[in-house]
């Protein structure tokens, strides 16, 4: 048995998944492709299919319910109460629906004996190889690597906030904190596979509940005290700014709900996968509704159109804390710890590409032949992301563009397109037209949101400086 190598086990898993049983051979017109496809090192070592639906729920929650939710009150400043809440509800409904559609398409192909472990594999099979190679693959890489850079930058900013609380006249610069956070990421990046993050992601689930509860409690406390700002919910700026502001806010909300790695997360589930992803999404969206809505509503209620890009910034007024210092320190600590987990989750597609390129699928996972290239390549990818985060402290503006160009297609448009092409629902059916409507509306929103995000970069470009201490 030992001489068969790791691919033999992979084939066994895939045959079990594919449902190619003896009973299937008498079914008419069921042409199944050969199941014993060789798996590359990326699929074999990074995307191991060993997890339960609970583990999958932890991965999903970490990838979606992340610290960018603390910018939801800021998005409300462009939308106002009614439109803001409608956008939040629509975002939740559309993403829950589209992630489920994506999961159904993945299950369908798995039952045909072709289990897709990556987004670009789906695109290759459903849309054609060029779509996978030149569109879905690069966009997903850009979104995921952009998320890693954004997490590193945000982690550095939270560390700097803690430092300034204890040393108001301290001389340490933002890029120094970014490098410290990058060092933590360097260690976590060496976790071998997506599945082995399951315990980290369970802790991450509790951390996101913790800092969301702190953000909500802090907002309510300040909103009820005389220290807080005067509540003003009117929209700021002239008509042009307000219109672009609406689309900027939609890009922020879409990015907050964005995932971009549903197939890779579903790939961690042990076969058979049928029905498991729906239960995992239910865990994720229970946490999501509790956190997103409480933070967005309490934050906007307390600070109105003075809500900052990161809600925790509102807890300080000219450097003076409006809540006890220990409370700000605790909230920032929870946020920093979860950011490290989110960053590592979004490193997985990069790790998978690196593993596929440099590892040997016929050697053992922890053989010297595979460990040395793994440590070097992953460390280099973290060093590059940390350097970019330190150099570009205005990366938040760039991330809005990535959100519009990346999360919109991957999470709102492609799932409904894949479903219609795979299951071919009748053109008279409600599902067909609902999917077409979602694809058209979110394509238009994506283009306009991208224009609004680029405009914001042009407006802010005057203040951009490399390694700026913001």
Mean pLDDT, rounded, for 443-464: 86
324 has pLDDT over 90: yes
Q: Is the pLDDT of residue 10 over 60?
A: no
In Å, the largest CA–CA distance within the chain is 78
The mean pLDDT of 360-383, rounded to a whole number, is 93
| Separation of alpha carbons 25 and 23, rounded Å | 6
Which tokens in the block code for residue 137? 């693959």
Q: What percent of the chain has pLDDT over 70?
A: 92
Helix axis angle, 239-257 relative to 395-402, nearest 10°? 80
Task: Please give the span between the terminal C-alpha atoms of the chain, in angstroms, as a whole number.
Answer: 59
For 291: left if phi > 0, alpha if psi spans -120 to 50, otherwise beta; the answer is alpha
Residue 151 pLDDT class (50, 70, 90 cuts): very high
350 CB-near residues (< 8 Å, 6+ apart): 141, 144, 145, 148, 381
Mean predicted lDDT score pLDDT of the chain: 88
pLDDT of 19: 42
% of the chain exceeding 90 in pLDDT:
69
Q: Which pLDDT band holds residue 14 (cuts at 50, 70, 90)?
A: very low
pLDDT grade for 11, boundaries at 50, 70 and 90? very low
pTM, full prediction = 0.88
Which of 22-31, 178-187, 404-413 has the weakest average pLDDT? Answer: 22-31
CA distance 353 to 376: 14
pLDDT at 37: 54
* pLDDT for the residue numbered 457: 85
Buried b (16+ CB within 10 A) or exposed e, 434-457: ebeebbeebeebbebbbebbbebe
Alpha helices in 305-367 (DSSP H): 325-358
pLDDT of 368 reads 93
**What single string gives the DSSP state of each residue in 145-170?**
HHHHHHHHHHHHHHHHHHHHHH-TT-
- 325-345 pLDDT per residue, tens: 999 999 999 999 999 999 999
C-alpha–C-alpha distance, residues 344 and 335, integer Å: 14
Check if the beta carbon of residue 167 is closer than 8 Å to that of residue 360.
no
The residues facing 320 across adjacent strands are: 317
| pLDDT higher than threshold 70 for residue 24 | no
The three-point CA angle 88-239-459 to 5° equals 85
Has residue 43 got a pLDDT over 80? Answer: yes
Q: Mean of the pLDDT values across residues 198-222?
A: 96
From 41, 94, 139, 80, select the one nearest 370 (Cα to Cα): 41
CA distance 386 to 127: 35
Pull the structure tokens for residue 177. Answer: 């904190």
Mean pLDDT of 39-62: 92
Per-residue model confidence as pLDDT tens digits over 52-77: 999 999 999 999 999 999 999 999 99
Annotate 390-426 with DSSP letters as a single string: HH-TTHHHHHHHHIIIIIIIIIIIHHHHHHHHHH---
DSSP helix/strand/coil, 316: strand
Residue 376 has pLDDT above 80, yes or no: yes
pLDDT digits 0-9 by tens, 235-266: 988 888 899 889 889 888 998 999 999 999 99
pLDDT reading at 218 higher than 70: yes
d(CA 448, CA 315): 33
Alpha-carbon span 79 to 235, nearest angstrom = 7
Q: How far is C-alpha 432 from the chain's CA centre?
A: 27
Q: How many Å apart are CA 373 and CA 190, to the nearest integer?
A: 11
Angle between helices 72-111 and 239-257 (to 10 degrees): 40
**CB-based contact 11:19 (threshold 8 Å):** no
**DSSP H or E segment with residue 40:** none
Q: Which of 14-23, 83-92, 119-128 has the lowest mean pLDDT?
A: 14-23
- Position 181 scores a pLDDT of 97
Q: Using omega within 30 degrees of 0 as the cis cutoff, is the peptide bond preceding 272 cis?
A: yes
What is the rounded average pLDDT of the residues 413-427?
A: 94
Pairwise CA distance, residues 26 & 273, whole Å: 24
Please name the helix (run of DSSP H) or strand (run of DSSP E) that holds residue 312, with its range, or none: none
- Residue 269 contacts residue 56 (beta carbons within 8 Å): yes
């Amino acid at each position: 048995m030992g001489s068969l190598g790791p691919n033999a086990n992979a084939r066994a898993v895939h045959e079990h998944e594919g449902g190619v049983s003896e009973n299937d051979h008498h079914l008419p017109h069921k042409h199944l492709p050969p199941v014993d496809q060789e798996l590359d090192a990326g699929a074999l070592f990074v995307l191991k299919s060993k997890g339960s639906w609970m583990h999958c729920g932890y991965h999903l929650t970490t990838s979606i319910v992340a610290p960018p939710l603390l910018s939801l009150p800021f998005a409300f400043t462009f939308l106002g109460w009614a439109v803001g809440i409608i956008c939040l509800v629509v975002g939740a409904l559309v993403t829950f629906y589209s992630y489920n559609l994506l999961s159904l398409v993945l299950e369908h192909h798995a039952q045909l004996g072709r289990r897709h472990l990556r987004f670009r594999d789906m695109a290759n099979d459903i849309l054609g190889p060029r779509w996978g190679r030149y569109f879905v693959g690069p966009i997903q890489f850009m979104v995921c690597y952009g998320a890693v850079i954004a997490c590193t930058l945000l982690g550095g900013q939270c560390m700097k906030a803690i430092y300034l609380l204890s040393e108001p006249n301290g001389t340490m610069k933002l890029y120094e904190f970014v490098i410290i956070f990058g060092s933590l990421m360097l260690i976590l990046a060496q976790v071998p596979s997506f599945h082995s993050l399951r315990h980290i992601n369970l802790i991450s689930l509790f951390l996101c509940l913790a800092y969301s509860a702190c953000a909500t409690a802090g907002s309510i406390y300040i909103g009820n005290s005389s220290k807080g700002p005067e509540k003003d919910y009117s929209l700021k700026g002239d008509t042009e700014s307000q219109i672009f502001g609406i689309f900027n806010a939609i890009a922020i909300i879409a990015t907050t709900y964005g995932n971009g790695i549903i197939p890779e997360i579903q790939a961690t589930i042990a076969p058979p996968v049928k029905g498991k992803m729906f239960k995992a999404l239910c865990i994720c969206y229970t946490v999501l509704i509790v956190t997103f809505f409480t933070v967005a509503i309490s934050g906007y209620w307390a600070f109105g159109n003075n809500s900052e890009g990161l809600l925790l910034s509102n807890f300080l007024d000219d450097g003076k804390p409006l809540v006890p210092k220990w409370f700000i320190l605790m909230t920032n600590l929870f946020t920093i710890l979860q950011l490290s987990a989110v960053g590592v989750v979004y490193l997985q597609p990069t790790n998978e590409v690196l593993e596929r390129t440099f590892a040997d699928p016929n050697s053992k996972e922890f053989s010297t032949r595979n460990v040395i290239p793994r440590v070097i390549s992953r460390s280099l990818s973290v060093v590059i992301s940390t350097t970019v985060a330190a150099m570009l402290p205005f990366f938040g503006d760039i991330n809005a563009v990535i959100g519009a160009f990346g999360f919109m297609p991957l999470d709102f448009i492609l799932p409904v397109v894949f479903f219609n092409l795979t299951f071919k629902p009748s053109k008279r059916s409600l599902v067909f037209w609902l999917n077409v409507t979602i694809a058209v509306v979110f394509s238009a929103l994506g283009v306009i949101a991208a224009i609004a995000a680029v405009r914001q970069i042009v407006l802010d470009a005057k203040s951009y400086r490399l390694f700026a201490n913001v």
